[in-house]
Structure 1
Amino acid sequence: MKKIALSALFAAALLSSPVFAQSAAQAAKEPKAAKAAKAPKAAKADGTVYKLQPQLSTLGWLGKKVGGQHNGTIQFKDGDVLVKGNQIVGGTFVVDMNSMKNTDLTDAGYNAKLMGHLTSDDFFGVAKHPTATFKITNIAPIKGAAATANNATITGDLTVKGITSPITFPAKIGVNKDGLAAATGTATIDRTKYDVKYGSTLFGAAADKAIDNDFTMSFNVIAKK
């Protein structure tokens, strides 16, 4: 109790001191100086930020199970692509988990049942985790890649259900003369690394009812300067 009381007295003394009051008043009068200290300008020194265009970009998913598969779409919410010269060198992307849809089930009842399960805590826990994010940490060129083939290997940190784990996948990336940065490809993701364990034989599911641990995300990202 004495330590708490002393801490409270020290905090009160600090807040009421002339030096603290003068510093606070000076900061309030100088908003421009405070803004100048923010990080974005330092980031721009490493390249030019292109803004993701969610309405032009697409993201598709495919999951397989014994005897079948399901596929659908999900939407980007926000994102930035970092460009240096005419090369993509980084990026951060936010996915809206509430936008997830199934596109192969035409029966409305079965479709709703599947989506209710996928958004539940058994799978992606969308109510608690409404977004997923991906941050590029490295881009390595693929030497000798054909003009129509994947030309880079992308590595980054994927966060799903609040859990972050790295993934690596090939993609075709580039920047054109019209000021558009684009990336297309397919990433394979091990769902069990993000606590999505339902139907996995690694966690007790019967082999004849198993759902593959890996699912794929196909993407077409468009960003503008």
Structure 2
Amino acid sequence: MVESKIGKEMSPEELHAWIDGKKTIYIIDVLKVDNFTKRHIPNAMNACVFEVTFIEQVKSITNNKDSIIVLYGSSNKSVDAATASEKLERNGYKYTYILKGGIEAWRSAGLTIEGEAVNEPVDPQTFLKLENRSYHVDTNQSAIEWRGRNPNTTHFGTVKIVNGKLAVRDGIITGMFEIDMDSIININLEGDELQPVLIAHLKSDDFFLTKIFPKAKFGINQAISVKKPYLSLPNYKVNGTLELRGIKVQQDFVATIVRTPEDDLVAEAHFDIDRTKWGVIYGSARFYEHLGMHLVFDLISFQVRIVAR
């Protein structure tokens, strides 16, 4: 038996020599099945490292922990094969090798690739790319969650977006959203007799005065991309104006935006506002003394999800 090797890198030329030499090895493509179908190394099999069943998929290829396995992913920018090697090591596999540079290195070396779309341009799907387009907000799939706090507890709930639109021009996003403040509900007190009391208080003149100001508006003045707009990190800086209780205040935050396979936009953002900027001063120690049990923290947290078609 050869010395145990875990995650040792090998070049495309070394792997090619092993294949030519009829060395008994298992070559495993660790990318998604659709990537594998489009392009893969000849005689490779597929086990997707992103799936929770990855180990079971490898076991269906070889359950022999002494097997020599060569793993490859997409390129030298991705740690997919290294992650696969670590998972296999933790499950007792002793001899895993990693094709350095993945299938892109194999292609660059001029070696054969098989599949249904070997010459199709490859998008690594790491950065956001937006095309000029107008969108309308899907109010059924979009949501705003709020969270307010006092020394004793945290209250949270939702408020509805009733309409909205977005436009992308040369990578810059603008838009407008209308929020129904009368739709505000509390969740954490559900079933408690205090729930309707809290909701009524939030709608009263102590807070959002929905009788006079039933709608709030948020306008995106300009949202611009960060330097490296990774899909899994906040990738846009949003400069906006929030109109609440008839008062307009600039509110900036960062958002994570992605395009779906259907070419919709999904945006997620998490940020705090200082409610007192909009005249919501109830319970604020900056404006009142001797508050006692009526003390309410000034910051309100929002989690916003926008789905735009």
Bin for the TM-score computed over the shorter chain: 0.7 to 0.9
Size of the alignment, in residue pairs?
A: 178
Match of 1:69 among 154, 157, 171: 154
CA-based RMSD: 1.9
For 1:171, the equivalent position in structure 2 comes to 255
1:212 aligned onto 2:212: no
Q: Is the 8 A contact 1:88 1:173 kept in 2?
A: no
2:211 corresponds to which letter in structure 1?
A
Q: Does 1:198 align with 2:198?
A: no
Q: Which amino acid aligns with 2:256?
A: K
Q: TM-score, normalised to structure 2's length?
A: 0.54
Q: Which amino acid aligns with 2:164?
A: G
Deviation at 1:67, TM superposition (A): 2.0
Select the structure that is richer in helix.
Answer: 1
Residues 121, 162 of structure 1: CA spacing in aligned structure 2 closer, same or farther, 3 A cutoff? Answer: same
TM-fit CA distance, 1:88: 5.6
Identity %: 28
Report the equivalent of 2:240.
Answer: 156
Deviations 1:117-173 (A, max 9, x none): 000001000011111000011213223354311111211000000100001111101
Task: For 1:140 and 1:221, locate their aligned partners in 2 and report how far apart those are by CA, in whole Å.
Answer: 17
Residue 196 of structure 1 and its aligned partner are, at CA, apart by: 0.4
CA distance in 1, matches of 2:246, 2:291: 29
Please state which structure has a larger fraction of its residues in strand.
1
TM-score, normalisation: structure 1: 0.74
Q: CA deviation at 1:188?
A: 1.1
How far 1:69 moved relative to its partner?
1.1
Paired position in structure 2 for 1:81: 166
For 1:211, what is the secondary structure of its paired residue?
A: coil
Residue pair 2:172, 2:222 contacting (<8 A) in 1 also? no
What's 1:36 paired with?
Answer: none
Structure 2 letter corresponding to 1:79: G
Q: Which has the bigger relative contact order, CA under 8 A and spacing at least 6? A: 1
- Offset, 1:205: 4.2
Alpha-carbon contact 1:159-1:165 (below 8 Å) kept: yes
Partner in structure 2 of residue 19 of structure 1: none
Contact 1:171–1:183 under 8 Å retained in 2: yes
Alignment of 1:1-225 (within 5 A): 47-84=132-169, 87=171, 89-206=173-290, 208-209=292-293, 210-224=295-309
AA in 2 matched with 1:212: F
**C-alpha contact 2:135 2:308 (8 A) present in aligned 1:** yes
> Is there any run of 5+ residues in structure 2 with no aligned partner, and where?
1-131
Structure 1 alignment gaps of length 5 or more: 1-46
Q: Give the number of the structure whose alpha-carbon radius of gyration is greater.
A: 2
